[in-house]
C-alpha cells in the first residue's frame, strides 16, 4: 500500500474546488480517499456548523465520482474538521489517500487506518463506555493499517459528537453534565484516555471514568480529539509508519510542554532531519505535507510564572485565544500557516501544553 497526503486551500466552508479539480485531472481517485482532516472558518464551539457544511460538500463531491450515496461515503471516510483559524492560521483541508502498490524497499513508510465506534447517546459522553470503545476502535484502525506496534503510531485523530440542547434533553442515559460545552470537553477527555489506553501510554486501570478531567498527569502524546454536532460516534484515524507500506512520506510526533515551547517544535523537526534557524527555509517548508497541533490554556492561569486571562475572558473563549497564540508561534517556525491547530487538549499532551505531529516528504539528494 501507498499513502498520499494532499492539502487544499479553503476559501469558504463549502469550497471543495481544489479536490474537484484534482479528481477531474485524475491526480486523485475518489475511491482512494480514506480520510479528510481540516480547519474551517467557524468558532470551533457547539454552534459551529461550518464543520458539517464542509463534510456535506465533500461527501457529495466524492459520491458523484464513486457512485456511492453521500451517506455511504460518510460511513467509510472520517471527515474531521475543527473550527477556528484565528490570527495567521489558514483554513484548509488535508486529503489522505491509500492505493495498492508494490512492496517497498523494507524502509518504513507512512501508513493510515480508520475505524468508527458505535453511535453514542449524550449519556455515554465522558463515561467508561466511550473510553473503552475508543480504545477498541484504535486497535482496529492499527490492524487495518498494518501498524503492529504502538511505538509506530505517531498521530491519532478522533472526532466525537457534540450535542445541543434538544439532544441533551432527550438523552436515554444519565448525563455527566447537561452543559453542552462541558459535555464537549468530557468527550474529548474520555477519547484521549481511550488513545492512551489503546497504545499503552497509561496503565489500563488508570484510563477510567473517574480520571476524566481530573487526573491531568494522564495524557496521550499522539492523540488529538475534537467534537462536533456533525457526528454521533467517534471517528478514528490512526497514522504511523509501517514496512508494509511504501512511498516517500514520513511522520513523527512530539509534545509542547507549554504554549511557548519552541524547543518541542525543534525536537520534532530534528527527528525529521529538518532545521529551523530560526525558521524553516522555503525549500524545507515545501517538504511539509501536513502539521497537526493540539493546545490548551494552562489551568493554573499562568505561563512560566506569569498570569494569562484566557480562562477568565468573558468575551473570547479560551480555545480561540490559545489557537491564535500557538498557531502564530508554530507557523513562525514552520514557515507555513495551513496548519491544523486545535484547542481543547484535555489529556492531550501535558496540561497547558499539547502535541504535535508533522508529515513530510523525506529529504532527497
Catalytic residues: 159, 226
DSSP alpha helix (H) spans, 290-337: 318-334
Q: In angstroms, rounded to a whole number, what is the distance separating the alpha carbons of residues 4 and 45?
A: 30
Name, in order, each residue with C-beta under 8 angstroms of 74's C-beta and a sequence gap of 6 or more.
55, 59
Q: In angstroms, rounded to a whole number, what is the distance separating the alpha carbons of residues 288 and 359?
A: 6
Name, in order, each residue with C-beta under 8 angstroms of 100's C-beta and a sequence gap of 6 or more.
1, 2
Q: What DSSP line would sit under 16-36, residue for residue?
A: -HHHHHHHHHTSS-GGGEEEE
Cell of 322: 490559545
Degrees to nearest 5, angle at CA 222 with 233 and 212: 60
Burial (CB < 10 A; 0-12, 13-18, 19+), residue 6, is middle
Compute how many other C-beta atoms are within 10 angstroms of the C-beta atom of residue 210: 8
Burial (CB < 10 A; 0-12, 13-18, 19+), residue 90, is middle
Q: In angstroms, rounded to a whole number, what is the distance separating the alpha carbons of residues 254 and 265?
A: 8
Amino acid at each position: 500500500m501507498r499513502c498520499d497526503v494532499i492539502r487544499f486551500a479553503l476559501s469558504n466552508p463549502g469550497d471543495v474546488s481544489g479536490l474537484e479539480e484534482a479528481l477531474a485531472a485524475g491526480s486523485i481517485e475518489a475511491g482512494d480517499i480514506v480520510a479528510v482532516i481540516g480547519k474551517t472558518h467557524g468558532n470551533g464551539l457547539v454552534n459551529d456548523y461550518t464543520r458539517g457544511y464542509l463534510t456535506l460538500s465533500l461527501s457529495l463531491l466524492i459520491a458523484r465520482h464513486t457512485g456511492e450515496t453521500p451517506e455511504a461515503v460518510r460511513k467509510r471516510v472520517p471527515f474531521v474538521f475543527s473550527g477556528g483559524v484565528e490570527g495567521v492560521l489558514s483554513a484548509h483541508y488535508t486529503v489522505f489517500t491509500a492505493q495498492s502498490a508494490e512492496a517497498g524497499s523494507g524502509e518504513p513508510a507512512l501508513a493510515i487506518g480508520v475505524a468508527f465506534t458505535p453511535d453514542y447517546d449524550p449519556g455515554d459522553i465522558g463515561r467508561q463506555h466511550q473510553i473503552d470503545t475508543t480504545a477498541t476502535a484504535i486497535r482496529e484502525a492499527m490492524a487495518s493499517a498494518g501498524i503492529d506496534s504502538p511505538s509506530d503510531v505517531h498521530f491519532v485523530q478522533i472526532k466525537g459528537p457534540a450535542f445541543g440542547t434538544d439532544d441533551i434533553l432527550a438523552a436515554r442515559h444519565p448525563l455527566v453534565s447537561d452543559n453542552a460545552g462541558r459535555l464537549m470537553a468530557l468527550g474529548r477527555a474520555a477519547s484521549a484516555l481511550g488513545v492512551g489506553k489503546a497504545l499503552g501510554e497509561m496503565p489500563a486501570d488508570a484510563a477510567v471514568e473517574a480520571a476524566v478531567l481530573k487526573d491531568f498527569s494522564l495524557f496521550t502524546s499522539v492523540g488529538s480529539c475534537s467534537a462536533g454536532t456533525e457526528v454521533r460516534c467517534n471517528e478514528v484515524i490512526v497514522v504511523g509508519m509501517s514496512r508494509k507500506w511504501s512511498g516517500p512520506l514520513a511522520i513523527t510526533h512530539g509534545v509542547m510542554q507549554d504554549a511557548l515551547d519552541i524547543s518541542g517544535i525543534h525536537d520534532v523537526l530534528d527527528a525529521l532531519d529538518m532545521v529551523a534557524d530560526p525558521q524553516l527555509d522555503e525549500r524545507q517548508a515545501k517538504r511539509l505535507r501536513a502539521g497537526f497541533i493540539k493546545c490548551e490554556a494552562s489551568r493554573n492561569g499562568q505561563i512560566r510564572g506569569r498570569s494569562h486571562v484566557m480562562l477568565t475572558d468573558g468575551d473570547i473563549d479560551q480555545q480561540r485565544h490559545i489557537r491564535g497564540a500557538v498557531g502564530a508561534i508554530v507557523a513562525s517556525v514552520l514557515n507555513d500557516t495551513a496548519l491544523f491547530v486545535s484547542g481543547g487538549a484535555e489529556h492531550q499532551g501535558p496540561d497547558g501544553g499539547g502535541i504535535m505531529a508533522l508529515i513530510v516528504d523525506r529529504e532527497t539528494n
